[in-house]
Chain A
Amino acid sequence: MNKYNPPRMNPSSLRSRFATRFLRTLSKINAQKPTSSSSPTEIFRRYRRIKAAADKSMAYSVRSRRTWSRAMLWKLRTRPCGRRSVKTSTIIKSREARKTRHEKQNKNTTTTTTTTTGEDGVVFGVEADELRELVPGGEAMDLYNLLDETAHYIKCLTTQVQVMKKIADFYSP
């Protein structure tokens, strides 16, 4: 057989990091429920888990270098899960309360900044709010940082979509 040196995929690229993490999690999910029924609820549950796994693996690949990844990780960690005990749920509630308070404060500061920055704040008022809702952790950012985070978030989302597309193609018969 002819052997040729294949072009090595960069092991530290965002794509490979995400792919390996996601595949690992995916296999865990598959392994945990070997005899999965094809009921819609089951599928839906798997979907939720897979989606969370995708988001989590993407956020971990970015490694809290970005505000949106930090916010996403925080959200995933404090996501209400059925298995959590009462004690942890109270902790989660308090954390959430603190977070909302913090976010409110940030919102106040950001709203003041956006209003004082003149025409840009006025022009981008509605769209900026929409963007803030879309990008995780976007509530506490001014417009410039928001655009920065959006750019990186778009890049990571495209990577995620590409990898998941390939995985789905592999899985499909």
Chain B
Amino acid sequence: MLHRLESLESCTYDRMDMTVLERQAARFKWQQQNYVVQNNNPVELCASSVPQFQGLVGSNLGSGQMVELKRLEVFLGTDNFQEFMNFPVTGPEFGDSEKLDLLPPEAAADYCISRTSSCQMTALDTAVMKEEREDMILEKMESTIGSGRGSFNKRKAETVADHKSKDKKIKGEGESEVKTKCSTEISRNSSKENSKASEVQKPDYIHVRARRGQATDSHSLAERARREKLSKKMKCLQDLVPGCNKITGKAGMLDEIINYVQSLQRQVEFLSMKIAALNSSVENLPMKEFPAYVANFPAAAKLPEMAGLPCFQLNPLQKESVNCMLNETMHPPQTEGIASASVSISEQSLSSSSMTQLQPFSTWSWNMDPQDTVPGNGIISTLQEGIQYQMPLFTFLQDIFQ
């Protein structure tokens, strides 16, 4: 393909003695011939892309892109850009103008080279021209025109030629037109570009966005995807851990998370210690009300797993009953006796989470009767009162638990 371009150059230069017009006509003819074969042989696209480019310039270059091109001018220096700008101007006048500089042929050849490379790519040819200059320049074009760099490299593996990719093809051709010899600017300028992302289309792969100015090989993309996953996770953790909104940075966040987990674990230890200490002092006082509550609480029957809860629904009632007991001058030994009796009952009631309502209650009341009538009555009365209080107590405890 290169040799074809060289032949073009040579043919043009050999006919230096020809008139300019004849030269133009010969070139035009040659281009037209190549234009015919465009669709068949992507290699021949080099000259055919000229009219394409003209079309591109005419149709696709909106104001925005013109702005991009102007920016390009800033980066590239004006000379080549001027040529570039002049080229379409002279394009339509190709057959007409008598003047033709020598420079445009060179430029044309250069453009042809770049175009072929871009066309090769856009024609989804995996055999990529790996001229370093072109790659860099193409990438630069990409960055300036606005499509991501990743799209260019990824396009090599593309097999789908849908509308979007077509647009990018045309864009790529347009980009390639603005060819520069300053490759060093590319790396510098790419970092300054806006972070406009372009979508990479892969038929079988996960769609990944490659931002502008970032490497696009598979490893770095995978790395970036992983990093984004991690940052998402860190955000979730930030919501969980209180007071993490101000902290930015992963290391600080992790420290905060570690502190929080440690504090929670210490809290659990402290609370279990507290419960152990309280249990030893309170002994089995709550146990007393277990059977009564289990007996009297119809809701517990419906939710067997809530059987454990009734023991703590007793607490307000327990306090009430304790007060009643104290009022009735019941001394501790008696309560202990009751406690020991109730332990077995509580065991039964707890093991059987289903309702054996009356039985424990009756045994309870039976246990109570021999002790003392008045306190027993007091307790039973409070328990009977407790029956009425079941639902509100349950809700009260629900609220507390929630």
Residues of B within 8 A of A155 (CB): 240
Residues of B within 8 A of A167 (CB): 271, 275, 312
Residues of A within 8 A of B251 (CB): 123-124, 127
Describe A's contact surface by its main secondary structure. helix
Contact string, B382-402, partner A, CB cutoff 8 A, digits 1/0? 000000100100110010111
Residues of B within 8 A of A123 (CB): 250-251
Across the interface, B311 reaches (CB within 8 A) one of A27, A29, A34, A153, namely A27
Residues of A within 8 A of B268 (CB): 51, 54-55, 157, 160-161, 164
Within 8 A of B (CB), among A15-53: 15-17, 19-24, 26-31, 34-38, 42-44, 46-47, 49-51
Q: Is A150 an interface residue (CB 8 A)?
A: yes
Q: Is B234 an interface residue (CB 8 A)?
A: yes
Contact B254 A124 (CB under 8 A): yes
CB distance from B311 to the nearest CB of A (A): 6
CA distance A160 to B264 in the complex (A): 9
Across the interface, A31 reaches (CB within 8 A) one of B265, B271, B346, namely B346
Kindly report which residue of chain B lies nearest to residue A58, judged by CB atoms: B268
Contact A171 B346 (CB under 8 A): no
Contact A30 B272 (CB under 8 A): no
Interface residues on B, range: 35 or more
Contact B279 A150 (CB under 8 A): no
CA distance A16 to B307 in the complex (A): 11
Contact B275 A171 (CB under 8 A): yes
Residues of A within 8 A of B394 (CB): 6
CB distance from B228 to the nearest CB of A (A): 11
CB distance from B307 to the nearest CB of A (A): 7
Across the interface, A124 reaches (CB within 8 A) one of B250, B305, B315, namely B250
Contact A43 B280 (CB under 8 A): yes
Contact A120 B258 (CB under 8 A): no
Kindly specify which of A75-83, A87-95, A97-105, A140-148 makes contact with the partner chain.
A140-148
Describe B's contact surface by its main secondary structure. helix
Of the listed residues B234, B251, B268, B306, the one surrounded by the most CB atoms of chain A closer than 10 A to its CB is B268
Contact A50 B275 (CB under 8 A): yes
Contact B258 A36 (CB under 8 A): no
**A134-B350 contact given A11-B306, A27-B308, A154-B241, CB 8 Å threshold:** no
Residues of B within 8 A of A37 (CB): 280
Q: Is B284 an interface residue (CB 8 A)?
A: yes
Contact B280 A6 (CB under 8 A): no
Kindly report which residue of chain A lies nearest to residue B389, judged by CB atoms: A1
Residues of B within 8 A of A35 (CB): 283
Contact string, B242-283, partner A, CB cutoff 8 A, digits 1/0? 000000001100110110111011011101111111111111
CA distance A167 to B227 in the complex (A): 42
Kindly report which residue of chain B lies nearest to residue A172, judged by CB atoms: B278
Across the interface, B226 reaches (CB within 8 A) one of A20, A34, A117, A131, namely A117
Contact string, A152-169, partner B, CB cutoff 8 A, digits 1/0? 011101101101111110
Q: List 6 A-B contacts (CB under 8 A).
A: A6-B398, A23-B309, A24-B307, A36-B279, A36-B283, A51-B268
